[in-house]
Structure 1
Amino acid sequence: MNLPLLLGFTQALALTMSVAFMTYVCLIVVPYLRYRRAAPGDPHRLEWHFFVPCRDEQAVIGDTVRYLRGTFAHAHVWVIDDDSTDNTVGVVQALQGPRHGGDRLLHLVCRKLPNARTGKGAALNSAYRALKNWMGKHADTDRAVIVVVDADGRPAANCLSVCAADHLFGDPGVGAVQVDVRMSNRGTPPPDTGGWRRRFGLAMVRMQDLEFRSAIAAIQLSRGKTGTIAMGGNGQFTRLSALDSIAHGLGPWRGALLEDFELGVHLLTAGWKTGFTVDTHVDQEALYSLRRFLAQRTRWGQGTMQCGRYIRRIFDSQHLSTLGAAEMLYYLAQPWMQLLGTLIYPIPFLLLGYRAATDFSSVWTWFTDGAWLLFTVYGAFGLLPFVIWGPIYRRRCEPGKGFLRSIGYGLAYALYIYTFYITSWRAALRMAQGRNGWTKTRRNKELPSRVVALDH
């Protein structure tokens, strides 16, 4: 075996992958930093329906319904109970009022086993069918907009006016809009903890906030150039006529674990435009627990892998440009590239360690003769694409934070991102085992008394 040749080849391959990713990051940063707010629209031109899927959400659903009904007085709220074992239904019925019909804008859709607990997409489809029946055959589906919100979600008070803007739902060709996502508990320590657990919990929440408000927001804005803006599971706005156009008797949401991205694929390939805005947002609760976070991201990674079945559909679509199709393919390839990266990136260091153990003097000479520069570049290109998000996050989202702290955020974000290598392998293992089901990830307020995704 020619170790120097193999070492050089793997270093070159790893460096090429790092440089390509760094270039990609630079391309998405520019539109993000140059973004300017747009004029809002008139929300009364549209009819709004909030869909709130629930399974054992007694701890949070009451506050969420009160917030939605109090903040958006003219919007309908549809709570979808997925055969909860707690008092979720009782909480919602109490809010509905006398005989459960006092508040005519608050609706409850109840699913029961064996037809319940078959995925978030199936729950949303139940609400979709209930809404269609409630509206009747002659409803103006172009005016009706469905807003998917988590059971702990808090859409900003201006979200309806922002989404009604001329470039969003004011454009009849726009079928869906995704709003920015923020972590409501950023800066709030986990309860009943101290010391390193408290600091770790705070760091976990901060990294999730940084990820959504800077890196993901930048990616979404750059997708505006390729026409491939994706949907998220929280703060997802979709025109009812767009959902009708892709339902085909099955319902608009399908069976992937990443049902939000899957919905976007169907909308884009059907010819609808999608939009994204950071002019408004939805707050959701970040996870303090690393175990629950890994479980959540494993589900997302497996969902991305499942959506690989749409590659042919994406490239055959007449509604997507070649650049747009390539961008979507890059996204779908991410978990597989992470698997490849875990195999390639360690090889140069393993080979170098082996060579140093057998012939240390020649390795030291090689290193001091200039190889140290190669490793410096290698490390820089491996870290910089992640570290830069710390200062960017400070500039766009948290200007009150110090610059040195933002560098610390960037370094922590680099470590945070490496957890995706773990979740990609876990997702691939679940795929290989044919395990496609999933239970909900327990929220911070819930007692650990029921089986949740954490336990699998």
Structure 2
Amino acid sequence: MSLLEVSISLSFFLGLVFLAYVCILVRGFVKAKPERPGDPGELDWHFVIPCRDEQAVIGGTLAYLESTFPEAHLWVIDDASGDDTAAIVAERAARNPRIHLLERKLPDARKGKGAALNHGYREISRHVGDSELRARTIVVVVDADGRPSANMLELCAGPDAFADQAVGAVQVEVRMVNRDVQRPLPGKGPLANKFAAMLARMQDIEFRGPISAMQIIRRRTGTVNMGGNGQMNRLTALDSIAGETAEPWGNALLEDFELGLRLMLAGWRTAYSRGSWVDQEALWSLPPLVVQRTRWAQGSMQCLRYLPRVWGSPCFSTAGFLEILYFMLRPWVQVVGSIVYVIPLAVFAFNAAAYRDFMAGFLANGGLLLMFAYGVVGIAEFAIWGWFYRSRCEPGVTRRSAVYYGLSVALYSVLNYVIAWRAFGRFVSGRGSWKKTKRNSELAGARAPAVGAVTK
């Protein structure tokens, strides 16, 4: 077979697989049932907030958590911040004994989020001690700008989550708190503001649409992924994988996914709550977004080393293995896909220029209809999330906006191929440093962080 024939065959096969996957996601998303609530008083809640240079947001986050979850302990891990993060936390800790400041110093600090979380685990472990309290202690990971919904503990204490003793971890839905901001960059022009606002909306649709749908399907396959924000872990589950070094979190750049894998390999179930959520800031600029997503994609590549253990583990069903396999291979498939999709287009463009009469005949005899159908299906696979976003997430969105958002999602998805190549380049070159994503407040001309005191 020629290179063109191979690329066309592969692109057709990958297109069919993705279409089938989208159909499965949509069906699960539409038929998802709400979680049942429980009594949060049956459990002890410890929030862990890793911080590095978070003076712009940490004060508001602590104020929100104090007022919304007054019975919870708040553990702030300052990872050698160069600003006033530690001072802000220390001032609040002096007034509230349930706020704890854990300061990490160089050269031991700034070694990634996993290392900071392991430090928090060890401190909480010492605080709880070797008592029956360990079995009822829940460690909640929240970003420095995180705003968990007020019903989060209630739903996560329910029979679909930690009331089931087999559940070792729960992930809640992630939403973008600044999704409705119209002028995120007041110091810039209308086009820059429209782009920034749309970028934030795309991230909200992404997490509440396809990512949430994936997590709902993973409930059935038993492979719910953990995220970096709104992640909850039973302390005894962390104990089971911590080992002699007392480090339940690994060193992969996608430390949250790696943690979930390790828990599942240890026999724990993971759960997902869509009825509760955590609000966080969406990024208003492409460069920090690309840096963030590159880290995630590279972390997924790093976790490929776990695949033989997942294959041989009795803790995973066939469907569970296939779901994990798909997630791990996705950035690799995107690298391949960016090649096999481009080759037919390039050949077609060349033939259209070099053999105009032949191409005109091809288009007139059904070729144009075939290309149109292929384009419609390829765009619709992504654009459909604009409609579901309106019907299932934001009913106030107009039909026109839903169409606009859907088409934008299709364009936004192209970014994944750029990210996959950047992650691939870093992976093969051995670059594995953990780079913190800059917040909106650090961008020139950006408005203050849009993290309100009340989650709706």
TM bucket by the smaller chain? over 0.9
Q: Counterpart amino acid of 1:292? A: P
Cα distance, 1:358 vs. partner? 2.2
Q: 2:360 matched to which residue of 1?
A: 364
1:296 equivalent in alignment to 2:287: no
Contact 2:36 2:160 in 1 (8 A): no
Q: 1:20 matched to which residue of 2?
A: 17
Q: 1:405 matched to which residue of 2?
A: 401
Q: TM-score, normalised by structure 2?
A: 0.94
For structure 1, the 5+ residue unaligned runs are 449-456
Q: 2:437 matched to which residue of 1?
A: 441
1:191 equivalent in alignment to 2:188: no
Q: What are the superposed Cα offsets for residues 390-419 of structure 1, whole Å, 9 maximum, x if unpaired? A: 101110011111222111111100111110
Q: 2:96 matched to which residue of 1?
A: 103
Choose which of 112, 134, 145 in structure 2 pairs with 1:152. 145
> Superposition pairs for residues 255-404 of structure 1, below 5 Å?
255-404=251-400
Within 2, Cα distance between the matches of 1:56 and 1:265?
29
Within 2, Cα distance between the matches of 1:38 and 1:327?
22
Q: What are the superposed Cα offsets for residues 277-333 of structure 1, whole Å, 9 maximum, x if unpaired? A: 111110000000011111111111111111111111111111101110111000000
Quick one: percent identity of the two aligned structures?
47
**Structure 2 residue matching 1:232: 3-state secondary structure:** coil
Q: Counterpart amino acid of 1:155? A: P
Contact 1:148 1:234 in 2 (8 A): yes
Q: 2:27 matched to which residue of 1?
A: 30
Cα distance, 1:81 vs. partner? 0.4
1:165 equivalent in alignment to 2:171: no
Q: Counterpart amino acid of 1:411? A: L
Cα distance, 1:139 vs. partner? 4.4
Contact 1:15 1:381 in 2 (8 A): no
Choose which of 76, 93, 97 in structure 1 pairs with 2:90. 93
Contact 1:22 1:384 in 2 (8 A): no
Cα 1:186/1:447, change in 2 over 3 Å: closer
Q: 1:452 matched to which residue of 2?
A: none
Cα 1:381/1:17, change in 2 over 3 Å: farther
Q: 2:454 matched to which residue of 1?
A: none
Q: Counterpart amino acid of 1:210? A: I
> Superposition pairs for residues 121-136 of structure 1, below 5 Å?
121-136=114-129
Within 1, Cα distance between the matches of 2:345 and 2:424?
25
Cα distance, 1:335 vs. partner? 0.4
Within 2, Cα distance between the matches of 1:228 and 1:185?
30
Within 2, Cα distance between the matches of 1:89 and 1:287?
24
Within 2, Cα distance between the matches of 1:404 and 1:385?
18
Within 2, Cα distance between the matches of 1:20 and 1:432?
27
Q: 2:452 matched to which residue of 1?
A: none
Q: Counterpart amino acid of 2:238? A: L
Q: 1:46 matched to which residue of 2?
A: 43
Within 2, Cα distance between the matches of 1:370 and 1:167?
52
Cα distance, 1:133 vs. partner? 1.1
Q: 1:63 matched to which residue of 2?
A: 60
Within 1, Cα distance between the matches of 2:239 and 2:426?
33
**Structure 1 residue matching 2:438: 3-state secondary structure:** coil
* Alignment size in residue pairs: 441
Q: 1:81 matched to which residue of 2?
A: 78
Cα distance, 1:6 vs. partner? 5.3
Cα distance, 1:147 vs. partner? 0.4
Q: 1:424 matched to which residue of 2?
A: 420
**Structure 2 residue matching 1:388: 3-state secondary structure:** helix
Within 1, Cα distance between the matches of 2:435 and 2:398?
40
* Structure 1 runs, 4 residues or longer, greater than 4 Å off: 5-9
**Structure 2 residue matching 1:445: 3-state secondary structure:** helix
Cα 1:396/1:185, change in 2 over 3 Å: same
Q: CA RMSD in A?
A: 1.3
Within 2, Cα distance between the matches of 1:201 and 1:295?
16
Q: 1:453 matched to which residue of 2?
A: none
Cα distance, 1:249 vs. partner? 2.0
Choose which of 200, 208, 211 in structure 2 pairs with 1:205. 200
Q: Which stretch shifts more, 9-18 or 204-213? A: 9-18
Cα distance, 1:7 vs. partner? 4.2
Q: What are the superposed Cα offsets for residues 204-237 of structure 1, whole Å, 9 maximum, x if unpaired? A: 0000000001110001001111111110000001
For structure 2, the 5+ residue unaligned runs are 445-456
Q: What are the superposed Cα offsets for residues 17-70 of structure 1, whole Å, 9 maximum, x if unpaired? A: 112101101111112112232331000000000000000111110111111111
Q: 1:451 matched to which residue of 2?
A: none
Contact 1:56 1:87 in 2 (8 A): yes
Q: 1:236 matched to which residue of 2?
A: 231
Within 2, Cα distance between the matches of 1:447 and 1:335?
28
Q: TM-score, normalised by structure 1?
A: 0.94
Q: 1:249 matched to which residue of 2?
A: 244
Within 1, Cα distance between the matches of 2:325 and 2:314?
16
